[in-house]
Chains A and B, each alone.
Chain A
Amino acid sequence: MNEKSEKIFNVEKIRSDFPILNQEVNGSPLIYFDNAASTQKPISVINSISDYYKNDHSNVHRGVHSLSVRATEQYEQSRRSIAQFINAAQDHEIILTKGSTESINLVANSITHQINTNDEIIITTMEHHSNIVPWQELCIRTGAKLKIAPINTNGEIDLDALKQLINKRTRFISMVHISNTLGTINPIQEIIEMAKSVGAFTLIDGAQAAAHMDIDVQSLDCDFYVFSGHKLYGPTGIGVLYGKEECLNSLSPYQYGGEMILKVTFEETTYNDLPHKFEAGTPNIAGAVGLRNAIDYLSKMNLDMAVNHEMAIHDYALNQLLLIPNIEIIGTANNKSAIISFIIKNLHPHDVGTILNQKAVAVRTGHHCTMPLMDHYQISGTIRASFSFYNTLEEVDVMIEALDMAINMLS
């Protein structure tokens, strides 16, 4: 740890960057452990959106006046920042979307003409609904078969079983980088190589990963990588689809209208080049500006130290939780992110979550949009605590006290 990074990573200083954390809920200081659902926003992100609307807003592209030029520059600078953030080879390989869900839908829809009835699509047991349903629909449209790669009891992908599923009919493998429910960090590099061996496309759902690890899409060699701004300390309603140029060029447009065309007559339309081909209509310019500022904020932080801090909180919380009788941790992978899902025998997650909220502890309860994963574990839901670099060990102590209270009250 060098002096500079030590100075940069100061939890109290970091917390002061997030105004929302400085509040009381139900008479107690807010403890925000719902970061896997959405992270909070630093003041620099909040101000950047406000400043954009105060000073620079107009519609992007084609305008000759100064505001339009400035808005376009802001928007395209965001694209450049995102490309650098994940080490994309070219800026136009970054498509701005509403979020991970739209990014996956875009690919699953726009690849329809390349899929036929003999093809197979592989996903895993631990996928979010957003990485299940678009592929189910693709299979319904095309007659292709959806194959599910199983997981072991720890919540890790069964690589041997996955190898058995991959064959020359495999056309696409789409899987999550970090499970939003289990916290499992999947060995995507190895799986991407498996996919390449049979010429299958790969899409990685990085919604949980982008804020917690370095992403290098060229090193990964995936065809597509998606993530959302709001889980990356940026605004809601903005997200990213990265695609290799040749892969994006092979897809049909997703939506049709302004921006995505080169020429329109009543007889025919010529589509625009990347990235505009996939950005029909006026985009979320302010969202892109906010996301760029979130990336700037993260880039100034020592990510290794931030992740170490998150994992220290995770490990401390896990040790404290394991002291609670009748608790079961759902997801115990060797390679894990700072997410803990758990259940307590005979207590319903929603009841526990409601009581935790009375002590201002915000956790997520339920199926976390992973119903098939809940079915796998034969449970209806979990209590999920997910940590950020702005959380503290003292906050974990409050959560444990609140859990004790919930158990006493409900048992």
Chain B
Amino acid sequence: MDNLYQTTILEHGQRPHNFGKPQTVSISREGFNHLCGDKISVYSSKDTSNLYLMFESVSCVICKASASLMTLTINKSSIDEGIYIINEVMDGIKNGNIDLDVFSDDMSCLNQIINYPSRINCALLPWKTAKDLIEDLKDD
């Protein structure tokens, strides 16, 4: 528990970055965790050529923190980079081995989720939803 609800998770979960809706939304996707009823909306802004994602959610601290870290990690990336990052991080969350040589130290908190198997879906929901959104963007 002390490892899960550590400072980084609490900071991002309680005061998430990029929480809200961009003024101009190009595309959005909703994600839903049927196990717990949590909902997240991920938005892409129209105003930039590279990715700029924001989100709103009715969700737990783990999901919000994961979403906050996701936007900080992905934003300003290209679409292809975004998909690559998401795949890497989702694998990292599932295996507890997000590469901290590649990603920021703050992401290390997501490596603890593997110790709480019932919470992995909470952490994955934003990334899955963003992946759906970015794949839609790529198809456009």
Which residues of A are interface residues toward B (Cβ below 8 A)?
A: 26, 348-351, 354-355, 358, 365-367, 371, 374, 380-381, 409-410
Contact = CB atoms under 8 A, between A and B. Distances in A.
B37 A354 contact: no
A34 B14 CA distance: 28
Interface in B52-111: 58-62
Interface residues of B, number: 19
Given A26-B1, A355-B1, 16 more contacts: A348-B59, A348-B61, A349-B60, A350-B36, A350-B60, A350-B122, A351-B60, A351-B61, A354-B1, A355-B5, A367-B36, A367-B37, A374-B37, A380-B39, A381-B37, A409-B5
B38 A380 contact: yes
Contact of A365 (B5, B36, B39, B116): B36
A383 B95 CA distance: 29
Contacts of A371: 37
B54 to A, nearest CB: 20
Contact of A351 (B35, B39, B58, B62): B62
A365 B119 CA distance: 12
B60 A348 contact: yes
Contacts of A351: 5, 60-62
Contacts of B38: 350, 380
Interface of B: 1, 4-5, 10, 14, 35-39, 58-62, 116, 118-119, 122
Contacts of B35: 366
A371 B5 CA distance: 27
- Chain A residues touching B, majority SS: helix
**Which 9 pairs from chain A and chain B are nearest by CB?**
A348-B60, A358-B1, A380-B37, A350-B60, A367-B37, A366-B36, A351-B61, A351-B60, A381-B37
Nearest to B39: A380
A309 to B, nearest CB: 30
Contacts of B14: 410
Contact of B10 (A354, A367, A410): A410
Contacts of A26: 1
A367 B61 CA distance: 17
Give the one of B14, B36, B39, B58 with max A CB within 10 A.
B36
B61 A366 contact: no
A42 to B, nearest CB: 27
Contacts of B1: 26, 354-355, 358
Contacts of A374: 37
A354 B36 CA distance: 13
A374 B38 CA distance: 12
A355 B9 CA distance: 14
A254 B58 CA distance: 40
Nearest to B119: A354
